[in-house]
Structure 1
């Protein structure tokens, strides 16, 4: 009974997400020891037991072992239910506070009552986030859980190239195992990276943040404040870039003050001077305003797609509307308007004049004359026009690829099948598309009967 109580305390703290132990000399004040003391007041036997010098089964090793065994039992219970169903793999990578790369593994599945479950399986450390490493982790986890890849009917990852790469990406490699199953625009990347460094300067120093707020109140009291940049989600960065544009002069003045603060701190001084150098370039301002424009459109689409009530058809329509909007901005007249806007704004802040990059020699494989002459673009405006088009092309291509995936088309077919069945329309063409994908996963005749029944509780 005493061991059962001790193990119960460990399980209770784990269930509540509370730490068991303190740190170093404060370990006796940890939740586990204090809870044991509380229970000892009502149980004389437990109080006597905890006064023993050895064999109390309260050490950190015992606690960790109880947690490990309990976690395995919970995982076995979860997996036992999943084995009778098909499932979807959901994987993402993250870096913890100790800078250790970890892979988050979740399984999504539907039970016999058609209730959807998303069960967290575990965190797995990895020394590399290459596609091959992530695929190996996925295969290893499924093997340990005794789940067959043949039961996998979907994959859910973020938009990173390592995940969605058409040749060697994680999704492609997993699909090969079972067949059913803006960062490249440098000028925008540099603007985002510099904004992130600005965010860290202000976020992790109360003195620097206070100085920025003081200068803002003095120089631009009516402008919006600086918005910290999210380091993991590209589509929500437009507001942060917008705040950099609106607070450009205040930020530059703040950096001058920060440099004085950091005279005796070489690392911080180097960071401040590096950010100042970037913000004084016209290319930085252009990248900020271009990122604000392009990512703003992408963010609007992202918000629409995250709505709980949106259908696949509605999502497709929202994507097409966003693409149409972007294509309207991808014209010479739209660029000229944007260029004039950037140049006009550059006159109000402390940035250098727009200039061409340094001359570069034509690569030998393209130099038919053999003269080795250098080449340059015709004008500064032409140079930035190419960058402008490249940014929109990247985002347009990403959206088109995301909505042209086979899995999304299957999802649309399933949605059309249900909607047509509910409304009493002919769904034979839709059901054939679904059968082509899922084959013998279900009884086709029984499915048709159930679809006919749907018309009764959902009359048109």
Structure 2
């Protein structure tokens, strides 16, 4: 017990023999946090303007390497953290990921998207009642997709109507029953009770507004 207590005191006062390694480790952790903070800001900037991330090249300082890497190059001209990071990438100092590749971009986008979705769902639940706006259209590969928008009234100092784009759902079945199951499953996964839905809006497709078998009469 005395030995453990001495170790605890030495760790707190920074007098252990591995203190130098611990200091280097903490410095590296701070460095990677700083890099990730800047990369997340770049992702937010590109996504907020609906710009494409990647090009035909995946290398820094190459033509057509996409908006993401171009933003990294621009930031490296003025920011010492990103400048040091890009220099390490180009000199091959990293034996692991440099956090500039396609996979980490997708992971960061998914993480940010998940956090935004959690915030949106919380706001919808605070408003309690909502309406849904559904619209189906095929993409270039003729795969039917359904966009989902939820409209709420935010009761703050003054009532504010807000619309939240919840995403695009791929519809394997384009029948009224198939689309009905799809939207109910999505609401269940988001933990948004359909009992609080007070309005519905659709396009003019028969599978949506059909009098007998469309989504609208089935949900009503």
TM over 0.5, shorter chain: yes
Structure number having the greater strand percentage: 2
- Normalising by the residue count of structure 2, what TM-score does the alignment of the two structures yield? 0.74
Matched, 1:62 2:107: no
Q: Counterparts of 1:190-339 in structure 2 under 5 Å? A: none
Superposition deviation, residue 155 in structure 1: 0.8
Superposition deviation, residue 77 in structure 1: 1.0
Kindly indicate whether the alpha-carbon contact (under 8 Å) linking 2:129 and 2:198 is maintained by their aligned counterparts in 1.
yes
Q: Report what 2:45 is aligned to.
A: 12
Query: 1:315-365, CA deviations, whole angstroms, 9 ceiling, x for partnerless residues?
Result: xxxxxxxxxxxxxxxxxxxxxxxxxxxxxxxxxxxxxxxxxxxxxxxxxxx
Q: Counterparts of 1:56-455 in structure 2 under 5 Å? A: 56-84=98-126, 85-112=128-155, 113-175=158-220
Q: Secondary structure in 2 aligned to 1:159?
A: coil
Q: Provide the rounded CA distance (Å) in 1 between the counterparts of 2:101 and 2:122.
A: 32
Superposition deviation, residue 28 in structure 1: 5.4
- Normalising by the residue count of structure 1, what TM-score does the alignment of the two structures yield? 0.36
Matched, 1:23 2:56: yes
Which residues of structure 1 form unaligned runs of 5+? Answer: 176-460
Kindly indicate whether the alpha-carbon contact (under 8 Å) linking 1:21 and 1:27 is maintained by their aligned counterparts in 2.
no
Structure number having the greater helix percentage: 1
Instruction: Number of aligned residue pairs: give it.
Output: 175
Q: Provide the rounded CA distance (Å) in 2 between the counterparts of 1:34 and 1:74.
A: 25
Which residues of structure 2 form unaligned runs of 5+? Answer: 1-33
> Given the superposition, is the C-alpha separation of residues 168 and 27 from structure 1 closer, same or farther in structure 2, using an over 3 Å criterion?
farther
Kindly indicate whether the alpha-carbon contact (under 8 Å) linking 2:57 and 2:65 is maintained by their aligned counterparts in 1.
no
Larger Rg: 1
Superposition deviation, residue 8 in structure 1: 1.4
Superposition deviation, residue 24 in structure 1: 5.1
Superposition deviation, residue 27 in structure 1: 7.5
Superposition deviation, residue 148 in structure 1: 0.5
Query: 1:403-438, CA deviations, whole angstroms, 9 ceiling, x for partnerless residues?
Result: xxxxxxxxxxxxxxxxxxxxxxxxxxxxxxxxxxxx
Which segments of structure 1 move beyond 6 Å, counting only runs of 4 or more?
Answer: none
Q: Report what 1:376 is aligned to.
A: none
C-alpha RMSD of the superposition: 1.8
Superposition deviation, residue 128 in structure 1: 2.2
Kindly indicate whether the alpha-carbon contact (under 8 Å) linking 2:57 and 2:66 is maintained by their aligned counterparts in 1.
no
Question: Which structure carries more relative contact order (alpha carbon 8 Å, separation 6+)?
Answer: 2
Q: Counterparts of 1:29-48 in structure 2 under 5 Å? A: 29-48=65-84
